[in-house]
Structure 1
C-alpha cells in the first residue's frame, strides 16, 4: 500500500496526516441506501483491509444513522489507535428538522425519515460527541462537513470545528462537496486539509475548478465513488436488478443504454488489465489516483474479498503511456442523461 500526506501547513504542530491511497469507504457498510448490510461481513472487510495496509477509514453518522460508525468502531477496537486514521463527517441530521432540507429517506428498518443539511455550532458539538462514542475513540483524525449548509454561515461552522481541534477531539478539518469559492471562504477561519468530492472516469467535472484550486493551495482531494458505485467494475450488465432500497436504481448511470456504453469502453481497456493480471476495477482505481490533484480514492467493500481486491489496486504500475491509452479511450465515452 502507498500512503500520501494531507493537512500539511506552516504550523509547527501540524506535521500532516498520512493516509492510505486506497481508503476504506464505509457508506455501504452502514446499509443505508444500499439495500441493507451484513454487519459481520462489514467488520471483516475493514479488518482484512487493515491487514493489507488500508489504515484509513472514511465514514459518517448518516450512513445507517450511526450504524456505519458503530461498525467501524467495532472493527478497529483491537488496533492501536495511532495505527489507524478515522475520517468522519458532520452536518447531516435525521433527528433534527433544521437547516437545508436534503431528502426524504428510510432507515434500514423501513422507518421514514427526513434528512437535513445543518452545520450550526451546537449541532456540530453534539455530533462530534456522538461520533466519538460510536467509534469508541477520543479523537477524530479528519472531521469533514458532509454537505454545504446555506442556512449557517461558513464562519460559524468552521469556528466550531476550530474549537474541537483546540480541545483535542479533532486533528484536522476537511470539507466535502465544497466548490472553490466555498473552500476559499472556509479558509478565512480554519486551515483545511482536504476536500472530499465525487470523482470517477464518468464524473470528472471537478477537473475544471476544484482540482486547480486544490493543487494551487495544497489541499488534498479525497475522491469518492471512484468506481461509480460499481458501474466501472465491469460486473454490471444491461438488465441489472438492484435491491428495493438501493439508490442506484434511480441514477442515470445505470440505464441499460449507459451500461452498454460503459461496457464497450471497459472492453477496450480490459486487455491492459489482463496484461497486469488485474481486474478492470483495480485498473480503474489505479488510473484514478494517478490523475492530477487526486490524493486518495475512497472505495467501499461489502465483504473481505472485495476489500482485498480494492487494496491490491496499488500493486499495479501504470506508465504514462498506459495512462494516456486509458484516457484516450475514456474521452470517447459519452453517456446519455
Structure 2
C-alpha cells in the first residue's frame, strides 16, 4: 500500500481508502452487517488503514459498524475520517437548508444541510460515541450549508482542533471559491469531491488550485457507484430500491460499455479486474491524495487494496485516456 501525506497536515493516509457509504445500507438496497464489518477488517489487514464514513450513512449505522470493526486494532495505526452537516433527526429545529427526503423502512425522512457552530460540536460528540474513540483524524463538512456562514462553521472546527477532538479539518463538495473563503478562517487540509473517469470536472479548477495551495483532494465515486466495474453490463439488474437505477441514466451507457471493453485487455494482461485498473488510474491522476473505494465483503476489500500494486505504463495511460475521450 502507498501512504500519502494529506495537504498541509502530518496525516499519512492510505492511497486507497475504505469508503463506508454502502455499508450504511440506506440507498444501497440494504446490507449484511457481518459482511460489512468483515470488509472493514479485511481492508485493514491488507494495508488500507484509512476509513471514511459519515453520520448520514445509515443514520449512524456506518459509524457504529466502523467502531465495532476496529476493536482490537491499534487505534494509532488507523485513521478515521468522518463528516458532519447532514441532519435528519430534527435537532436542527427547522433551521438549515432542506436537501432531500431520505427513506427508511418506507418512511420519508427529511434531511437538512446544517452546520451551525453548536450543531457541529454536538454532531462530533455523537460521532465519537458511535466510533468508540476519543478523537477523529479528519473531520469534514459533508455538503455546503447556504444558511450558515462558512466562517462560523470553520470556527467550530478550530475549537475542536484546540480541544484535541479532531486532528485536522476538511470540507466536502466545496467549490474553489468556498475553499478560499474557508481558508480565511481555518487552513483546512482537504476537499472531498466526486471524481472518476466519467466525471473529471475538477481538473479545470480544483486540481490546479490544490497543486498551488497544498490542499489535499480526496475523491469519492471513482467507480461511479459500480458502473465502471463492468458488472452492471454483465448482470444488468439492481434491487428496486437501489438508487443507482436512476443514477446510471445520466451516462451514455453504450459508450461506457464500449470503453470498458476497450480497456479490459489491459486489466486482463495484468491479472487484474476492471475495478482495480480503474482505481489505480484514479490514484495516479495529478493532485489526487487518496481514493475512496467501497466494499461490502472481505473479498472485495482485499481486491481494492491490491489495486495499488498495478503498474500502468505511459503508453497504457495514453491509450486509456484516448479511449476516454470517445465517451
TM-score by length of 2: 0.97
Higher relative contact order (CA 8 A, sep 6+): 2
- Alpha-carbon RMSD across the aligned residues, in angstroms, is 1.3
Counterpart among 212, 215, 218 of residue 214 in structure 2: 218
Q: Is 2:72 the partner of 1:72?
A: no
Within a 5 Å distance, the mapping from 1:5-44 to structure 2 comes to 5-8=5-8, 16-44=10-38
Matched, 1:236 2:232: yes
* Shift in alpha-carbon separation, 1:254–1:279, aligned structure 2, 3 A: farther
1:214 to partner: Cα distance: 1.0
Within the alignment, does 1:202 sit opposite 2:225 as a pair?
A: no
Report the Cα offset of residue 186 of structure 1. 0.2
- Partners of 1:19 and 1:85 within 8 A in 2: yes
- The count of corresponding residues between Structure 1 and Structure 2 is 324
**4+ runs deviating over 3 angstroms:** none
Q: Give CA-to-partner distance per residue, 1:207-258, whole Å, 9 cap, x none.
A: 111111111101111010000000000111188222222111112x347x83
Q: Which consecutive unaligned segments of at least 5 residues does structure 2 have?
A: none
Stretches of structure 1 that go unaligned for 5 or more consecutive residues are 9-13
Structure 2 residue aligned with 1:11: none
1:169 aligns with 2:165: yes
Aligned counterpart, 2:103: 106
Change (3 A) 1:72 1:120: same
CA drift of 1:112 comes to: 2.0
Preserved contact between residue 237 and residue 260 of structure 1 (Cα < 8 Å): no
TM (normalized to structure 1)?
A: 0.94
Residue in structure 1 matching 2:309, options 310, 315, 335:
315
Take 2:180 and 2:110, find their aligned partners in 1: how far apart are those partners? 30
SS at match of 1:104: strand
Cα distance in 2 for residues equivalent to 1:80 and 1:308: 20
Quote the Cα distance in structure 2 between the aligned partners of 1:312 and 1:134.
Answer: 29
Matches within 5 A, 1:1-337: 1-8=1-8, 16-96=10-90, 97-107=94-104, 109-237=105-233, 240-251=236-247, 253-254=248-249, 258-333=252-327
Structure 2 CA distance, aligned partners of 1:100 and 1:85?
A: 30
Deviation at residue 4 of structure 1 after TM alignment: 0.4
Q: Distance in 2 between matches of 1:258 and 1:209?
A: 25
Residues in 2 aligned to 1:276 and 1:298: alpha-carbon distance in whole angstroms: 22
Question: Could you tell which deviates more after superposition, 324-333 or 84-93?
Answer: 324-333
Classify 1:35/1:53 alpha carbon distance in 2 versus 1 (closer, same or farther; 3 Å): same
Residues of 1 paired with 2:239 and 2:148: CA distance?
A: 36
In structure 2, the CA distance between the partners of 1:199 and 1:239, relative to structure 1 (3 Å rule), is same
Classify the secondary structure of the residue corresponding to 2:83: strand
